[in-house]
Structure 1
C-alpha cells in the first residue's frame, strides 16, 4: 500500500512542470564583470522497502540537492577572476532517512556550504582555486551522458544511504546502504586546487585539502585526476580517472576510481565505472540508456544500470543493485521530472540478508 501522503506529494511535483522559466538573474558591467544568482529546488518522494516494512518520506534529493549560490566574475585581459558561494538550503537529505529516525525537515548547518572560493582562470597556465570547493576527484566516478544523472548515477548511497539491510530473521543488521553501495567519489573541502588547460582533449587536476567545516577533524586529503572530453565520429565521449588519499592519524585510505560514458547520435548511450579502495572493497558499474525526442516539451531519457561490489564491510561480501529510471525534461520551465526504482542485494559468508528496494520520484527546477 502506498503511504497516505504520496498523492499530494505527486500532485505538487507535477505542478512544478507548469512553472514558466525564470529569467537569468544576472547583472553585467561594462568592464567584463558579472554578478549572477543561481540555484535549484529538487524535492522528491523516497520510498524504501527492507523486506519487512515499507517507509515513505518527502526528501531533498541528495544526488543533486536543493541549493542557492552567488557568482561574481571579473575579466582581467584574457584571464577571469571568480568568487563563488554556494550552499545547500538544509532540507532533509535523502541519504539521512532510515528505519530508526529521520532528519529535521529544515536544519541548515555550515557543513552544507558547497563552495566558498576564489579562482583565477588563465588561457595558458590553467585554473587556480582556493577555498571550500570540489577536490580534484570530485565527479571522477560520475562521467555520465545518459541524461538520467539527476537521480540515477554511480552514487547509490546518496538516495537511501542510511537505511539498513535486514537479516533473514528480520532484524536490522547495522549494515547501511552507505556502507556497501558506494562509488568512492570525492567531495568538497577547504583546498588548493589546480586545473590544467586542455591538451589534446585531456585536462589534469590536483588538490590538497582539509575538512574546514567540521569540528575536531584533522584529516588531510590529497588527490589527482585526469579528464577527457571529445567527439569521435559523431559520438560524444567523456571520461575520467583519479586517485584520492585521506590521511587520518597517520593512516592512509587510498581510493582509485574512474568512469567513461559515450553518447551515440541515435540517443543510445553507455556508461561504465569502477573503483577500488585499498584493502577495503571494490566495485564495477554499468548503465545502458536511450535519449528520445518523443514529446515537444523536452527530451525523455531512460536507463537501466547494474552495480556489483565486493568485500565491503566484510571480506567475501557481495553488493548488487539493479536500477531502472526515466527522466522527462520540460525545457520551457527549466525542469526535469524523474522516477527511479532500485533493488539491493547484500550477502556475506556468515549471515543471510533480505533483499531491499527503493523508489525515488521528484522534480528538479533550476534558476
Structure 2
C-alpha cells in the first residue's frame, strides 16, 4: 500500500497560507471572552540586481538581499496585567537566489519558506523578559549594531553581498574533474573568508533579558546542543548623540568546539555624521588542529541627510573590514573588503531604494596572487 505524503515545499506553502488567512480573518484583533489578543501581520520583500566580477568571469544575478531577507510574520500579544505582557512571534523567510549564496556556478537557487521565529515571551516591567522557542540567542545581532541608516545595503557581515563568489588565482587553482567524474573545486568563496562572528544566531532556546538600567541591559540564553551565551547591551541618548552597543560571549557547545567574544558600537551625532565599529575573536584551544585564532575588525563612517529629497532621508556610508584566519588557520589567511553604500527612503510609500559597491581581496602565505572580486548590487525593499 502506497501513501502520498505532502512535500516540504507544500507544507511550507500551506503554513504561509494559514498565516495569511489567520491575519486577514483576525482584522488585527481577536477577542476571546473578556480577554483581547492583538494580532499584527507584517512582512517585507527585498529584491535586487547584483553584478559580480571575479577577475575571470562576470555575471548579473537577480537576488534576494540577504542583508534583510524577504519574510512574513505574525505578532500576537495580550496585556495579562498592568505589568505583564504575554506574546508570540511567528515568522517565515522566503529567499529565491540569496545574495550571499549565488555563484558563477549556480545562478539560480529555488526559494522555500523556512521558519525564522517561533517564539513565546513573558515580559514584565519590573523583572524583565523571559522567552522560549526558536528565536534570537542572547548574542544574536551583537556584531551588527549600526546607526548609519545603510545597513540595508551593507553591514559588518560583508559576505551577505556576493558571499558565494569564489576567488581565482593561477590556472593551477581552477576546478578539476576527478577519476569518478566529480568536479573538485578548492577555491575559497567570499563567505568562507569573511565572517563577522555575529553571535549564535537563532536557535531553539530559553532566554532572559533584564529590564534596562540607565540604558544598559543584560541577556543570557541556553539553547539546543548545549549552546549558551550572554550579552551586555546599551542604547541611549547622550546630549543629543545617539549611542548603541553590544558586547557578547558565546559557546557553541556540541555544534562547534570553540567559543567566541564579539561586539559592536555605533554613534549617531545630531548633524547626521555617524561612526560604527565591530570586532570579534574565536578561541580555538579545543580544536584538534589548533592554529591561529580567527578574528575580524570592521569600521564604517556615514552621513544621514534629511533635506536632500522631500520623499525621505538619504544615507551614505563607506566601510572597511579585515578578517583573518576565518577558514584556514594555518595559512595566515587575510581577507580585506571595502565598500560604499547608499539608501534612499521613500517614507510615504514604506519603501527604500539601495545600492552597494564591494571590493574583496585575499592573501595568504602560499605566494598565490588572488584576483580581486568586485560586486555591485542595487534594489528596493517594500515593507508592510
TM more than 0.5 = yes
| Distance in 1 separating the partners of 2:238 and 2:190 | 37
Tell me, what secondary structure is at the counterpart of 1:178?
Answer: helix
Give the 5 Å matches for 1:167-246. Answer: 167-169=169-171, 171=174, 173-186=186-199, 187-210=201-224, 219-246=225-252
Partner of 2:355: 339
Number of residue equivalences = 331
Query: What do the CA deviations read for 1:55-79 (whole angstroms, capped 9, x no partner)?
Result: 2111111110000001110001121
Give the 5 Å matches for 1:77-116. Answer: 77=81, 78-108=83-113, 112-116=114-118
Give the 5 Å matches for 1:1-367. Answer: 26-27=28-29, 31=35, 33-77=37-81, 78-108=83-113, 112-169=114-171, 171=174, 173-186=186-199, 187-210=201-224, 219-248=225-254, 252-279=257-284, 280-293=293-306, 294-314=308-328, 315=330, 316-350=332-366, 351-367=368-384
| Distance in 1 separating the partners of 2:371 and 2:170 | 5
Structure 1 range deviating more: 173-182 or 322-331: 173-182
Kept in 1, the 8 Å contact 2:30–2:36? The answer is yes
Once the 2 structures are TM-superposed, how far is the Cα of residue 27 of structure 1 from its aligned partner? 3.0
Once the 2 structures are TM-superposed, how far is the Cα of residue 266 of structure 1 from its aligned partner? 0.4
| Distance in 2 separating the partners of 1:230 and 1:244 | 25
Say what the alpha-carbon RMSD is for the aligned residues. 1.7
Once the 2 structures are TM-superposed, how far is the Cα of residue 220 of structure 1 from its aligned partner? 3.4
Kept in 2, the 8 Å contact 1:255–1:276? The answer is yes
Larger radius of gyration: 2
Q: For residues 142 and 85 of structure 1, do their structure 2 counterparts lie closer, same or farther at Cα, with a shift above 3 Å needed?
A: same
Tell me, what secondary structure is at the counterpart of 1:62?
Answer: coil
Q: Structure 2 length as normaliser, TM-score?
A: 0.83
| 5+ long unaligned stretches in structure 1 | 1-24, 211-218
Kept in 1, the 8 Å contact 2:91–2:116? The answer is yes
Tell me, what secondary structure is at the counterpart of 2:362?
Answer: strand
The structure showing larger relative contact order (alpha-carbon pairs under 8 Å, at least 6 residues apart) is 1
Kept in 2, the 8 Å contact 1:132–1:188? The answer is yes
| Distance in 2 separating the partners of 1:209 and 1:247 | 9
Tell me, what secondary structure is at the counterpart of 1:157?
Answer: helix
Kept in 2, the 8 Å contact 1:118–1:130? The answer is yes
Once the 2 structures are TM-superposed, how far is the Cα of residue 96 of structure 1 from its aligned partner? 1.6
Q: Structure 1 length as normaliser, TM-score?
A: 0.86
Kept in 2, the 8 Å contact 1:207–1:222? The answer is yes
Query: What do the CA deviations read for 1:279-307 (whole angstroms, capped 9, x no partner)?
Result: 34111100000001211100000000000
Once the 2 structures are TM-superposed, how far is the Cα of residue 231 of structure 1 from its aligned partner? 0.8
Structure 1 range deviating more: 164-173 or 55-64: 164-173
Kept in 2, the 8 Å contact 1:168–1:354? The answer is no
| Distance in 2 separating the partners of 1:335 and 1:90 | 19
* Greater strand share, structure number: 1
